[in-house]
């Protein structure tokens, strides 16, 4: 691609960008009382962990509470309103968020193959935007990191998809001097504005602008970073400010429209489970093997990474696999959905013995449009794809605990 073509292409993308918006303002220590030092520390400790879930009205209430007792009453009511199942002794929503907090403290992303070296502690810890997004939405469905050195800043993107495969959110982080900043400049911005955002210095000449844009195009062939620069969501009514806003309490939302909370576990209370040490992530690997009859998808994991349901002397992991294939040129979308059950003995799971397993998805039946009548197998779907290049999104999720892993690959048919 020539310099002129690169500039024209990204100019077109910027023109169709969404309307300007900015990230939601964060909470601060000023939201806590100053009258009692002990109560102030207690309030700040609560906000450090859960401040991103406190609504504007709740902040107004919290500011006028000046004793530990009154703050305790606030916290009790705070979690009561967010209890998705009051009939159980456990507050499932709090358990979910506490698990994500542990993930942040344990630096779950530092060893992630897609985001290796990414740390929360150097990016604001629990108060930073990176932790904010992880606490609100869990592990990204798709994630990628790109080195820009020495031409431009390093980039990383976190994508979250809805059930239809459309992009709900694209969060872009621009890293300069070891600090990752959340990008929020969506709207009608110029090529020079983009180059300044991506530049290591913030000041660019016309030649440097061209070099940065060309570098971006060369090193982002799938345009996952470019897309995150110009469009936050597939849906025009969703902007980054809305995405970062504290969600309404579960009890209030449920009264309105009874939603299905993203990532909320649905573990039957009457069943016995042995859980892995991971709180949101399902550690699995994907290999695409090319054969004479086309590609095969091989998924592998270890017993220690699974959440197991114990049924007598048997243990099983119930998984849901979703795959979407989108043709890059025609944008035609083909979808696959199937269930997977992995079994072993309950004794081996309870003993802590670890083992490695893998399976091919080729023969799995496609229940995308019906829970009873399959539409052939994954192999049949692959055989029916038109020639061309496809973007493939693959999501693997535990049916009950909702822990998941996602991959995004390019397939040439």
pTM strictly above 0.75: no
Hey, what domains does the chain have and what are their CATH numbers?
A: 3-26+82-242 (no CATH), 273-412 (2.60.40)
Token readout for 10 is 């990204």
User: Is 253's pLDDT higher than 60?
Assistant: no
What would the pLDDT profile of 261-286 be if each residue is shown by its tens digit? 344 556 677 789 888 876 666 778 88
Backbone angles phi, psi at 43, to 5 degrees: -65, -45
Q: How many residues would you count in the chain?
A: 413
What would the pLDDT profile of 325-344 be if each residue is shown by its tens digit? 888 888 888 899 999 999 99
* Three-state DSSP class for residue 216: helix
pLDDT at residue 119 in the model: 95
Give the CA distances from residue 181 to residues 185, 197, 368, in Å, rounded to whole numbers and listed in that order. Answer: 12, 10, 38
pLDDT at residue 19 in the model: 40
Backbone angles phi, psi at 214, to 5 degrees: -65, -40
Could you tell me if 390 and 328 are in contact, meaning their C-beta atoms sit under 8 angstroms apart?
A: yes
Average pLDDT over residues 36-56: 93
Could you tell me if 246 and 52 are in contact, meaning their C-beta atoms sit under 8 angstroms apart?
A: yes
pLDDT at residue 30 in the model: 72
């Amino acid at each position: 691609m020539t310099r002129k073509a690169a500039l024209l292409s990204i100019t077109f993308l910027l023109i169709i960008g969404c309307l300007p918006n900015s990230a939601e303002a964060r909470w601060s220590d000023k939201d806590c009382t100053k009258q009692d030092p002990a109560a102030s520390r207690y309030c700040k400790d609560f906000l450090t962990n859960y401040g991103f879930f406190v609504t504007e009205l709740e902040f107004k209430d919290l500011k006028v509470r000046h004793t530990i007792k009154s703050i305790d009453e606030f916290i009790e009511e705070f979690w009561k309103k967010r209890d998705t199942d009051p009939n159980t002794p456990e507050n499932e929503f709090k358990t979910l968020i506490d698990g994500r907090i542990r993930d942040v403290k344990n630096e779950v992303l530092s060893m992630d193959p897609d985001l290796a070296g990414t740390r929360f502690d150097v990016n604001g810890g629990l108060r930073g935007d990176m932790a904010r997004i992880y606490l609100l939405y869990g592990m990204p469905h798709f994630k990628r990191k790109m080195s820009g050195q020495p031409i431009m800043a390093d980039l990383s993107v976190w994508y979250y998809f809805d059930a239809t495969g459309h992009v709900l959110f694209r969060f872009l982080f621009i890293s300069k001097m070891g600090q990752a900043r959340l990008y929020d400049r969506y709207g009608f911005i110029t090529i020079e504005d983009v180059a300044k955002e991506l530049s290591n210095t913030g000041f660019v000449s016309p030649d440097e602008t061209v070099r940065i844009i060309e570098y971006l195009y060369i090193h982002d062939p799938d345009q996952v970073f470019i897309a995150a620069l110009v469009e936050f969501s597939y849906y025009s009514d969703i902007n980054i400010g809305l995405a970062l806003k504290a969600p309404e309490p579960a009890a209030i939302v449920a009264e309105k429209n009874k939603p299905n909370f993203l990532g909320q576990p649905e573990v039957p209370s009457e069943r016995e489970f042995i859980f892995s040490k991971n709180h949101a992530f399902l550690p699995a690997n994907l290999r695409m093997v090319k054969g004479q009859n086309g590609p095969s998808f091989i998924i592998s994991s270890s017993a220690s990474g699974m959440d197991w349901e114990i049924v007598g002397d048997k243990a099983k992991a119930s998984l849901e696999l979703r795959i979407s294939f989108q043709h890059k040129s025609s944008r035609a979308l083909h979808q696959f959905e199937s269930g997977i059950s992995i079994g072993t003995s309950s004794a081996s799971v309870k003993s802590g013995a670890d083992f490695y397993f893998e399976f091919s998805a080729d023969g799995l039946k496609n229940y995308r449009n019906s829970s009873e009548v399959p539409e052939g197998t994954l192999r049949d779907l692959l055989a029916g794809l038109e020639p061309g290049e496809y973007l493939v999104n693959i999501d693997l999720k535990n049916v009950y605990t909702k822990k998941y892993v996602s991959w995004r690959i390019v397939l040439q048919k």
